[in-house]
Chain A
Amino acid sequence: MAVFSKPSTDIPAAIQAVIEPVTRSSHASNKKRIFATTAIIFLAYITNHLYRKQLEAQRNLSSHSPNRNQTIPDGPVSGNSKYTITIPYRNRTTNVTIFPTKPETFVKHKHAFTALDVNIQRVGVNKTFFRQLLALLKIIIPKFRSKEIFILLLHSSFLVLRTYLSVVVARLDGRIVRDLVAANGQEFVKGLGYWFAIAIPAVYTNSMIRFLQSKLSIAFRTRLTRYVHDLYLDDKNAYYKIINLDGRIDGADQFITTDISRFCDGLASIYSNLGKPILDTIIFNYALTKSIGLAGMLGIFSNYMITARLLRAVTPAFGKLAAIEAKLEGDFRSVHTRLITNAEEIAFYNGADLEHSILDRTYMRLIKHINSVLKIRIAYNMFEDFIVKYFWSTVGLLMCALPVFYPEWGGRGGRSELEGGSASDGKERDRTKAFITNKRIMITLADAGGRMMYSYKELAELAGHTSRVYSLLSVLHSLHANQYTSVPRPDSLGPEETFYSLDDVRGIIDYGFNGIKFENVPIVAPNPGNDRGGEEFIKGLNVTVNPGEHLLITGPNGVGKTSIARVISTLWPVFRGRLARPNVGDIFYIPQRPYLSIGTLRDQLIYPHSHADMIRAGRTDNELIEILDHVHLGYILNREGGWDTKKEWKDVFSGGEKQRIGVCRLFYHHPKFAILDECTSAVSSDVEGLMYQHAKDVGITLITISHRPALTKYHTHLLRVTGEHGTWEFSTIGTPEERMSLEKELSALEEKIKDVEQMRERLADISRELQLGIANNDNKAKIQKRGLEV
């Protein structure tokens, strides 16, 4: 007890510096108090000042005139460790410096993010959770001298300050009440004065704690989002693979936007929700022990322990009941959904009555369950209320009474009882003060205890978010390192069939080849999540495209024409064989679906360059105009109002214009090789011809995927994918052997075509018969009219 009653550390001394003078207003401690108060105000001022300064610095640095033309082009520069991007916000643009994550960091973090099986994993506050949290903490707090640590330290110091201030407020409250019940007007007014004086640092502390917590969450989120963006949109196309080559993460956008935000909020709040009550418990326990004695404290503690255990023992399995309720609720909902999806059939069957009874039955099952839960709750609520509200307060009162009735057992309160001396009125006053103070502290303590209990739930929630964010990162990491989940070879697959599994990619890709060369490369759709592995579209492709040899790839739909482009671009793995291809910058793809990015008109033409890239490359807008003229789009510059116009381009351009924009990109980037995937289908054939000719003229080797025979004339080689068991034919266009035995063919054709006219006539007769004379003159007129309307 002696140990507790004597201040031995610095914090309690500081507490005493403020608290003591309230009881014994000695001159020396008065000075201390003034000092402490000034220190608090000073600290508050300094932190505020620091923040203002930082903000202003940011604003000064970043504010630019809203005039778009003068903004420095932004965007990443290859090789630079940092770059700035401009952000339009509130009618002006600000710059933000981005520090991209270094590739070494990914390599370093890779081992922390082991691949995990989402299905088996159980989420809870366990070892896995802490391991995952630790791995994530490495990302969000990269080093000790980071902004996050600074915020965290500031936040912690404010937390300590708040607890300290709470103790002061409790004492002050006791003092005011003492003066009040003693009818000491002057002291009472003075106490109120102190009350308002303490209010200023107190509200500042509270406000700053909230601010810093949010700030911390945002800082975490920024770190994590940036990290994920760097990993997600890397040159290994993780964003593509996550959907097409890996089935583990569904809806990455949800993960990146919502789950990361929730995880960061949870993490930032768990710190203050755990930190504050723990601190409170320690400090208040200390203060309370001093005031009511160790015995009283022990009494309160053992009471809490026993009743908490009792409460837990009698608590029914509400979690399980709630789960059942949720399931029944879901059943009810699904019956409704079923009704809507099958509405037409049920309506035809006249099954409404039956469905009604099914609905009612499901509903009643739910309601019965809810009612039974409610009944269980009555007794439990009563018991809980009794323990928490009444029993605990009784124990608290009894313990507060300890120093009064048994002074030798009570701490400071007991000592002041024993000292006696003063008039009974004075004693009563002191008791009132002590009681009010203790009561306030006990309320705060109970609050802290409740918070701690509640924070366990939050911790469990955080574990859920952590596991989601972790699984996202681990999948991204494994995709970044080209690792995929392994699928065992299914038994149903015959021994002669090749099993293509994503973790068994044996093909070789050679970069830097001047041309494209397939050596026994099967074209295989990866099919993640499929037990039978990848689906083989084309067997062992052997094709070589040299510069200047324009290749046309034709074949029916769905035989894997586009897949060849995917393999060349290494979106799909080369499972077997060898692929030699040019370097990344030397080959350009124009996909089937025209893609228009968010941004200016210029951005559409130079995609995937940014304006900054364009300036760095020394290209000018005049060149772009020239390119537009080549694809006969010169008019759009004036129509859309200049290069810097921003629109939802998807809705602005017509189909043909979109495709021509794609060709513009080809001309702008001027690669050695270009893969054109059915990308001129909506362009008129004369413009199409001009575009192809121009592309060939400027020395681009074309690989065209199309089933339009009209394009044949621009190519020298033909790859026909038949779609029958993965076979293919490769031939040169217009070589002599094609024209062999012309005479023979001629005579056969003449034979076939002989009775065409006769057949036509007969067909018309039959059609008339089958149509049962619908198409009479009257109807024809109608049809024509409809045509006009359309």
Chain B
Amino acid sequence: MPVLSKCINLDSFISSANNQKLRDSAIKLFNIYKTNRTSIGWSIWIFAIILLYGRGKTGAGRGEGAISKKDKREARRTGAMTESEIKKQKVAVDHVFYERLRKLLKIVIPGYKSKEFWLLIVHSGFLVFRTILSVYVATLDGRIVSALVRKNSKEFLGGIILWMLVAIPATYTNSMLTYMQNKLAIQFRTRLTNYIHDQYLSDMTFYTIGNLDDRIKNADQCITVDTMKFCNSFSGLYSNLAKPILDTFIYNVQLSRSVGGEALFGVSLMVHFSSVLLRALTPPFGKMVAEEQKLEGEFRFTHSRIIENAEEIALYAGHSVEKTILDRAYFALIKHINRIFRMHIFHGMMEDFIIKYLWGAMGLVLCSVPVFFTVPGIKKNDLGSRTEGFVTNRRLLLSVSDAFGRIMYSYKEITELAGYTARVSELLDVFNDVKAHRFRKQLVASAKQPENAEVLSNHGEVIESENIQFDNVPIVSPSGEVLLRSLSFYVKPGMHLLIIGPNGCGKSSLFRILGGLWPVYGGTVHKPNPKDIFYIPQRPYLSLGTLRDQIIYPHTIQEMHERGYTDDKLQEILEIVQLNKIVEREGGWNKEREWKDSLAGAMARLFYHSPRYAILDECTSAVSMDIEKIMYTHATELNISLLTVSHRPSLWKYHNFILQYDGQGGYVFTKLDAERRLALQEEKQTLEQKLVEAPKLQKRLDELKSMLAERDSLQHSATTTPYHQEGDIVPFSLS
């Protein structure tokens, strides 16, 4: 249309100017255009697409620049990255995102022969089919209306029947599209979850990620929810992006066929400019909403603060002051919200005007093109077919605008996807780092001291051998605290080692290093195969599953049978730990329920596995002496070497070696003479008890002496005795 009208204008202008030459050249130009119309149209479209692609590219490039700057800044900063900094890392749609997405895609679509790939193909096929069907439905709609307007009952009825017939494949396609999309999401999720599970449950990653690394705070959330959201968002995005793009393309072709490419191009330009205008005039709502959330958070915080300090406030009777503070926070929020609303009035008006009315009018104008102007390739028609053309075109226009809206909207979805992608791929990155022993954890202040830093920078050696032996191994907690600079000891079969020392000096840490949970920072650790060491923690862990599973954990029932164990043999073990009634009481070996902590069960586990070495970490604190005795003697009978951490002196007699920490970085490893030690311990306790009282008694004694002296002197001078309150007197009775 614009070209044609320009032509008319040109004509009038030229005639007034009466310039024959110009007129000739204009007509020539027009003719050239007319003959090459289709190719010009195509080239414009291709140009537009290239432009669009270029823009997308530069956008990505910009993102790249920003990232590299950030990297530089990060590189300059020394030391470990804190968690808040990681959080600050903004998620953007840039090359990092595409890179991450590519990596994840490799996991969810492993190859061309995979089910997911074929699902995708079928899904795309349905997408194309749907678009073609919609075009057909649009024409059919036009035909029916035209028949209606022309009062052609036969054609009308035929149209209606056709309409109902088309409905069947159309609804099937639609329904299948939804199904395919969800199915894809599920397939992706299964792939990704399986991959993550494999990574997560190998090399003790599930332990190290939570205890030795700070980056992932809630892995369960990441694995269950974020993975699901990523997959849903990704499969949704595919259909949400692929469909509108396809739609826009096909509908545009269809439209340009019926109204002419020039008109469509003109209208597209108008739509583009008006949307640019709209965007330019939109106030920074994102920022304002962020501000609103901040204020809402402050209000919430003020409330939480009151709950936290309820007692103090109540004692001070500070409720009215607190109420004013609360009200202030609330009204600050309300003021801001009101401001946003006011801005929304104008913006909403403008948006409505442009999208609903301006674009609607443009649609009407576009539909009017074939009526008022001759479009090459389209014949002038009667009213009925004009109606048909109009109805069809309008339906197509509606679909195009819908598709256009979806594309606009999909940007938001892409950013969302970028967010999920970042979270999931970060999880995977941390998996890799952790597996390669690259940990990032906030270190304690003392870790920076040169001598400690030296310890931390080293790496130790782990050698698999028959016995347990530590050679100059430092005990270092994951947060970099050096508990013990160098530890050497050994445990050979037949040795029973008792480990004692104050809390927090590295008793459990020793086991963690032995179990391979914590990294070795120096020296050499000789340790047997993990199968030969069995650990009974302070808190007995009971898994989900049957009663049998509790005893044979972590074996499965197949493994149990392979080892030649039967339920009867398990029953024997239970009798040793005096749990023989349990099978009867719980209703058989296959009973499944939520099992409660039971230490005897943990001991039964030990006897079932009967390893070479057993680590008992404060595990008998809750059982009676006689059961304890049975357990220890039976363990020695089974030739299990025990490594016990306990404060109970009653356990000393089962051990023949001792490793004692002094809590100051020193230790001693030597033979244990339990009986002598016990006697000494007892004497020490009584002496200590007496000595604690000694200063008190001494003080009281002095006091009494002085008092008596005073009284005596006063009695001599025959006056009353005022009581002196000087010094820290403890006047209440001690006797």
Indicate which residue in B224, B320, B337 contacts A76 across the interface (CB closer than 8 Å). B320
A377 in complex: contacting residue of B168, B179, B189, B193, CB < 8 Å: B179
* Minimum Cβ distance to chain A for residue B55 (Å): 31
Say how far A305's CB is from chain B's closest CB, in angstroms. Answer: 20
Pick out which of these stretches binds chain B: A105-113, A277-285, A379-387.
Answer: A379-387
Let me know if B316 and A591 touch, CB within 8 A.
yes
A746 close to B704 (CB less than 8 A): yes
Interchain CB contact under 8 A, B303 and A256: yes
A449 to B: closest C-beta gap in Å:
20
A162 to chain B, nearest CB (A): 11
- Interface contact A753-B345, CB-CB below 8 Å: no
User: What B residues does A435 contact at CB under 8 A?
Assistant: 145, 148-149
With A345-B539, A394-B164, A789-B449 known to touch, is A239 a contact of B186 (CB < 8 Å)? no
22 sampled A-B residue pairs with Cβ under 8 A: A85-B327, A89-B332, A180-B364, A203-B357, A206-B349, A222-B334, A237-B319, A239-B313, A256-B303, A333-B224, A345-B540, A346-B207, A363-B193, A382-B174, A385-B170, A428-B384, A565-B315, A607-B318, A608-B318, A753-B697, A779-B662, A782-B665
Asked if B383 contacts A182 (CB within 8 A), the reply is yes
Over the window 384-397 of chain A, the binary record of Cβ atoms lying under 8 Å from chain B Cβ atoms (1 yes, 0 no) is 01100111011001
Residue A116, interface by CB 8 Å: no
State in angstroms the CA–CA spacing of A76 and B319 once bound together: 11
Q: Out of B186, B311, B553, which one reaches A351, CB within 8 Å?
A: B553
Is A183 positioned at the interface, with any CB of B under 8 Å from its CB?
A: yes
- CB of B660 within 8 A of CB of A85, answer no
A749 within 8 A of B: yes
Interface string of B585-620 (1 = CB under 8 A from A): 000000000000000000000000000000100000
- Contact call A385/B300, Cβ cutoff below 8 A: no
A774 at the interface (CB under 8 A from B): yes
**For residue A222, which residues in chain B have a CB less than 8 angstroms away from its CB?**
330, 334
> Chain B residue with minimal CB distance to A211?
B345
Q: Which residues of A contact B64 (CB under 8 A)?
A: none
Nearest residue, chain A, Cβ from B676: A769
A724-746 interface mask toward B, CB cutoff 8 Å, 1 = contact, 0 = none?
Answer: 00000001011000110011011
B197 within 8 A of A: yes
Q: Which of B156, B220, B665 contacts A340 (CB 8 A)?
A: B220
User: Which chain B residues border A239 with CB–CB below 8 Å?
Assistant: 306-307, 310, 313-314, 319
A354 touches B553 (CB 8 A): yes
- Beta-carbon contacts under 8 Å, A360-388 to B: 360, 363, 367, 370-371, 374-375, 377-379, 381-383, 385-386
CA distance A356 to B197 in the complex (A): 7
Render A342-362 as a binary contact track against B, CB cut-off 8 A, 1 for contact. Answer: 111111111111111111100
Q: In the complex, A258→B330 CA distance in Å?
A: 12
The answer to whether A584 and B317 have CB atoms under 8 Å apart is yes
**Whose C-beta in chain A lies nearest to the C-beta of B371?**
A183
B388 to A: closest C-beta gap in Å: 9
Q: Is the CB of B545 within 8 A of A386?
A: no
Say if the beta carbon of B713 comes within 8 Å of chain A: no
Which residue of B is nearest A55, CB measured?
B342
- Tell me whether B285 is interfacial, beta carbon within 8 Å: no
5 more A-B contacts (CB under 8 A) besides A214-B344, A253-B303? Answer: A233-B319, A329-B228, A336-B223, A363-B190, A608-B316
Q: Which one of B220, B350, B735 contacts A336 once the chains associate, using CB atoms below 8 Å?
A: B220
Which 7 A/B pairs are nearest by Cβ-Cβ distance? Answer: A608-B318, A351-B554, A253-B303, A336-B220, A345-B541, A595-B312, A348-B535
Kindly provide the distance from the CB of B35 to the nearest chain A CB, expressed in whole angstroms.
Answer: 28
> How many inter-chain residue pairs (CB < 8 Å) link A and B?
471
Interchain nearest-CB distance for A182 vs B (Å): 6
State whether A783 and B664 are in contact (beta carbons under 8 Å apart), knowing that A183-B372, A240-B311, A598-B302 are contacts in the complex.
yes
Contact between chains at B704 and A742 (CB < 8 Å): yes
Contact A763 B307 (CB under 8 A): no
Nearest CB to that of A230 among chain B residues? B323
Least Cβ distance of B374 to chain A in Å?
Answer: 12
A336 close to B372 (CB less than 8 A): no
Are B666 and A775 neighbours in the complex by a CB distance under 8 Å?
yes
User: Which residues between 110 and 168 of chain B lie within 8 Å of chain A, taking CB atoms?
Assistant: 144-145, 148-151, 153, 156, 160, 163-164, 166-168
Q: A720 vs B55: C-alpha distance in the bound complex, in angstroms?
A: 81
B148 proximity list for chain A (CB < 8 A): 397, 400-401, 404, 431, 435
The reply to whether the CB of B386 lies closer than 8 angstroms to some CB of chain A is yes
A29 CA to B436 CA in the complex, in Å? Answer: 85
Cβ-defined contact, B356 with A180, below 8 A: no
Instruction: Mark contacts of B641-671 with chain A using CB atoms, 8 A cut-off: 1 yes-contact digit, 0 otherwise.
Output: 0000000000000000010101011111010
Kindly state the separation between the CA atoms of A391 and B163 in the bound complex, as whole angstroms. 9
Instruction: Tell me if A234 counts as interface (CB < 8 A to partner B).
Output: yes
Of the candidates B179, B357, B704, the one whose C-beta lies within 8 Å of that of A195 is B357
Asked if A207 and B348 make an inter-chain contact with CB atoms under 8 angstroms apart, the answer reads yes
Which residues of the partner chain A approach B336 to less than 8 Å between Cβ atoms?
89
Encode contact with B along A474-486: 1 for CB under 8 Å, 0 otherwise. Answer: 0000000000000
Closest Cβ of chain B to A236, distance in Å, is 9
Chain B residues in 8 Å Cβ range of A181: 371, 383, 386-387, 390
Q: How far is the CB of A264 from chain B (nearest CB, A)?
A: 11
Complex alpha-carbon distance, A712 and B730, angstroms: 8
CB contacts under 8 Å to B, within A58-76, are: 74-76
Chain A residues near B677 (CB-CB < 8 A): 770
CA–CA, A120 to B729, complex, Å? 60
Identify which of A55, A226, A243, A343 contacts B327 (C-beta below 8 A): A226
Could you tell me if A397 and B705 are in contact, using CB atoms closer than 8 angstroms?
no
Q: Inside 8 A of A345's CB, which chain B residues have their CB? A: 535, 537, 539-541
Please tell me if B361 contacts chain A, counting CB pairs below 8 Å.
yes
9-residue interface stretch from A142-150, A152-160, A292-300, A754-762: A754-762
A350 surroundings in chain B (CB, below 8 A): 530-531, 554
Tally of chain A residues near chain B (CB < 8 A):
173
List B contacts of A432 (CB < 8 A).
Answer: 145, 149, 383, 387
Q: Is B515 an interface residue (CB 8 A)?
A: yes
Asked if A428 and B307 sit within 8 Å, CB to CB, the answer is: no
A385–B220 CB distance below 8 A = no
- CB atoms of B367 and A180 under 8 A apart: yes
**A547 interface residue (CB < 8 Å to B):** no
Residues of A within 8 A of B317 (CB): 235, 584, 608
B16 within 8 A of A: no
User: Assuming A595-B309, A598-B325, A766-B687, is B367 touching A234 (CB within 8 A)?
Assistant: no
Interface residues of B in 420-457 (CB under 8 A from A): 446, 449
Q: What are the residues of chain A within 8 A of B683 when measuring CB–CB?
A: 762, 766
Question: Which residues of chain B are near A597, meaning CB under 8 Å?
Answer: 318, 321-322, 325
Q: A348 to B186, Cβ gap below 8 A? A: no
Instruction: List A222-272 residues whose CB lies under 8 Å from chain B.
Output: 222, 225-226, 229-230, 233-235, 237, 239-240, 243-244, 251-253, 256-258
Q: Does B39 contact A (CB under 8 A)?
A: no
B206, A343: Cβ atoms closer than 8 Å: yes
List residues of chain A with CB within 8 A of the CB of B553: 349, 351, 354
Q: CA–CA, A382 to B176, complex, Å?
A: 9
Instruction: Contact check, B707 vs A739: say whether CB atoms are below 8 A apart.
Output: yes
Interface residues of A in 421-451 (CB under 8 A from B): 425, 428-429, 431-432, 435
Q: A344-B537, A608-B318, A783-B664 are in contact. Are A188 and B735 (CB under 8 A)?
A: no
Which of B72-80, B245-253, B688-696 forms contacts with chain A? B688-696
Task: Report if A710 contacts B (CB, 8 A).
Answer: yes
Chain A neighbourhood of B697, CB < 8 A: 749, 752-753
A89 neighbours in B (Cβ, 8 Å): 332, 335-336
> For the complex, is A692 an interface residue (Cβ under 8 Å from B)?
no
- Taking CB atoms, residues of chain B closer than 8 Å to A766 are 680, 683-684, 687
Asked whether any CB of chain B lies closer than 8 Å to the CB of A773, the reply is yes
Determine if A332 is an interface residue (Cβ-Cβ < 8 Å): yes
Which residue of A has the minimal Cβ distance to B174? A385
Return chain B residues, CB-CB under 8 Å to A742.
704, 707-708, 711
Q: How far is the CA of A346 from the CA of B221 in the complex (A)?
A: 19
Contact partner of B372 among A185, A358, A382, CB < 8 A? A185
**A180-B371, A374-B183 known; A203 vs B554 contact (CB < 8 Å):** no
